[in-house]
Structure 1
Amino acid sequence: MPDPVPGTDAAADAPPARAATPRFDRLDALRGVAMVWMTAFHFCFDLSYFKLILADFYRDPFWTWQRSAIVSLFLLCAGMGQAVALSQGQTADRFWRRWGQIMGCALLVSIGSWWMFPRSFISFGVLHGMALMLILVRFGFARLPTAALWALGAVAIALPFLIAHPFFDTRTTNWVGLVTHKPLTEDYVPVLPWLGPMLWGCALMRAAAVRAWFTRPLLPALKPLSAMGRWSLSYYMVHQPVMIGALMGARQLGWL
C-alpha cells in the first residue's frame, strides 16, 4: 500500500504548553492540505484494493508522483515545525514524548501491515523514517548554518541516484536508502533521499519573510484545515481503518 502520511513535527497534535509561544496556524493549515490530499489518495488506493476501480499505484506515474509529492509536503512541514520548536525553546522532554508517540505508531503500522500484507509488510515506512529523521534534525543538523541545510538537503536527495550497493538491499539495511532496487513493501521512506525535504523545511522557516508569512492570521474558512494539521498523527492512525472498514461494511451490505 503506497503510504503517504503526515510529516509530523514534535509540536503537532496538541496546543502549545505555554501561552507565550504562538501557534503557527498557517503551518498547521498547510499540513492539513497535505492530509486532505493523503486521504483522497488512500481512498483511491482502497477502491483499487477492493477492485472497485482499476489503478496501478506501484507503476503509474499519475499515482507514484502524487505519493512522492504528498510525502515531500509532510516532511517539509515537519522540518519547518522543528525550526519553530527549536526557536521557541521546546524542551527535550517534550520532544521525546512526541517521538515516543511516533515510534509507537510506527510499530502499530508494522503490525497492522503484516496482518494485511504478510509478504510486503512495512518495516521502514514514513513513520519509521520520521522517527529517525527527527532525531537527526533535532540533534545533528538543526543548528547548522542555513546554507549548510540547503546543501545537505540537496546531497541527501541526490545520493540515492548516484550510489547504490547490494549491501543496502536487506530489511536491516534498506532504511539508509542506497538500495539497488525498491524493496517489496507497502511503504518505504528511507533516510535518503527523504531527509532532504525535512532539512529544506528547516532552512526555509529560518527566512524572515517565510516565517512572517506563516505567523499571519489565517482566513476563517481555513480554520478546519488548521485543526486537522494539529492532530496529524492521530488522524493518520485512524483514517485508513475507518475507510477500509466502511468499504468492507458497504460490500457486506451489497452496496458495492
Structure 2
Amino acid sequence: MCGVHSRFWEIDALRGIAIFFMVLFHFFYDMVFFGVFHVDVWSGPVFYIGRSAAILFIFLVGVSLTLSRSRSKISGLQVSFSKYLKRGFHIILWGMVFTLTSWVLFPDKVIVFGVLHFIGTAIILSYPLLKYHFPNLIGGLIVLFSGGLMKNLSVDSPWLIWLGITPPYFQSLDYFPLSPWFGVIMLGIFTGNVMYPDYHRKYYLPDFSDHRVISALELIGKRSLFIYIIHQPLMVVLLCVTGIVDLNSMGIW
C-alpha cells in the first residue's frame, strides 16, 4: 500500500534508468553528429540503448497518467480535463523551444514533432482513455501495428508528420509520431490500471528505495523533464569548452 501523498519508488527508479540510457545514447549520437568518432547509432547496441530508453520512458508516461488519476480520485478531487490540458500544453511549449533552436542551428533537420511534442499531445489525448483497462491493451497493440504500416507511406504534404506519415526525404533530429508511439502510452495506461488500481501496488515488491543506487535513480526519475531539457545543451557546451568540438569551424555557430 502506498499513501496518497507517497510515490511508488519503482516507477521513479525505472524512469531514472530510462533517462540514464537516453543521456548515454545522446552522448554517442552527439559524438557521431559532430564527427568526433564513428559509431552506428541506427543499428546495433547503441541503437537498442536509445530505443529501449524511449520505449521505457514513454511506457511510464502512460503508467504515471493512471497514477495521477487514481490519486486524485481517492483524494476526493475532480479528475478534470483542464489538468491534463495544462500539463500537456506546458510540455508542448518546451517542445517548441527545441523546434525553434533546431530551426536556427540545423534548418535541414528541424524538430517538428519530437518526443516533447509527442508526450504533451499524448497527455491531452489520453484523458478519455484513463479509466479503461483492456480497451487500452487492444487499442495499443492496434496503434503499434498501424505504425509499422504507416512507416512505408509517404505523401507530399507535411501536415501528417504528427501522425507518422512523412514527405519523401523527411529528416528530423527527433521524431516521435503518434503512430506507433501512442500505442506505447496506451499499454502503459493498461498496465497502470491493472498493477496500481486505486493508487496501491497490486503485487509484492521488497522495499529497495533506501539503496544508494536506487535512491539516485529515483532522484533522476523525479527530475526527468528538467534533465531532458538541459542535458543536450550541457553536453554541447562541455564538448565546446573542452575543445573536442568547434562549432565555428563546422559553420553552426
> TM-score of the superposition, structure 2-length normalised?
0.82
Distance in 1 separating the partners of 2:204 and 2:96: 33
User: CA-to-partner distance for each residue in 1:83-104, whole Å, 9 max, x for gaps?
Assistant: 1011111554543442232112
Distance in 1 separating the partners of 2:177 and 2:195: 31
Q: Which amino acid is the alignment partner of residue 160 of structure 2?
A: T
Do residues 126 (structure 1) and 97 (structure 2) align?
no
> TM-score of the superposition, structure 1-length normalised?
0.81
Say which of 36, 47, 64 aligns to 2:47: 64
Distance in 1 separating the partners of 2:241 and 2:175: 29
Match of 2:251 in 1: none
Q: Quote the offset at 1:116 in angstroms.
A: 2.2
Match of 1:230 in 2: 222
Number of aligned residue pairs: 232
1:66-85 aligned at under 5 Å gives the runs: 66-85=49-68
Distance in 1 separating the partners of 2:194 and 2:144: 21
Conserved? CA contact 1:79–1:201, under 8 Å: yes
Say which of 39, 53, 56 aligns to 2:23: 39
Say which of 192, 195, 207 aligns to 2:179: 192
Secondary structure of 1:205's counterpart equals: helix
Match of 2:75 in 1: none
Greater Cα radius of gyration, structure 1 or 2: 2
Match of 2:10 in 1: 26
Conserved? CA contact 2:22–2:49, under 8 Å: no
Query: Per chain length, whose mean CA-contact separation is higher, i.e. which structure has more relative contact order (CA < 8 Å, sep 6+)?
Result: 1
Say which of 225, 229, 242 aligns to 1:250: 242
Conserved? CA contact 2:66–2:130, under 8 Å: yes
Runs (5+) with no aligned partner, structure 1: 1-18
User: CA-to-partner distance for each residue in 1:170-202, whole Å, 9 max, x for gaps?
Assistant: 332111114486731111100000011111111
Conserved? CA contact 2:99–2:112, under 8 Å: yes
Match of 1:239 in 2: 231
Conserved? CA contact 2:66–2:192, under 8 Å: yes
Secondary structure of 2:92's counterpart equals: helix
Conserved? CA contact 1:24–1:215, under 8 Å: no
More off after superposition, 110-119 vs 190-199: 110-119
Q: Please tell me the root mean square deviation across aligned C-alpha atoms, in Å.
A: 2.6
Match of 1:16 in 2: none
Q: Quote the offset at 1:115 in angstroms.
A: 2.1
1:24-173 aligned at under 5 Å gives the runs: 24-57=8-41, 59-89=42-72, 91-139=80-128, 141-144=129-132, 146-163=133-150, 165-167=153-155, 170-173=157-160
Q: Which amino acid is the alignment partner of residue 184 of structure 1?
A: Q
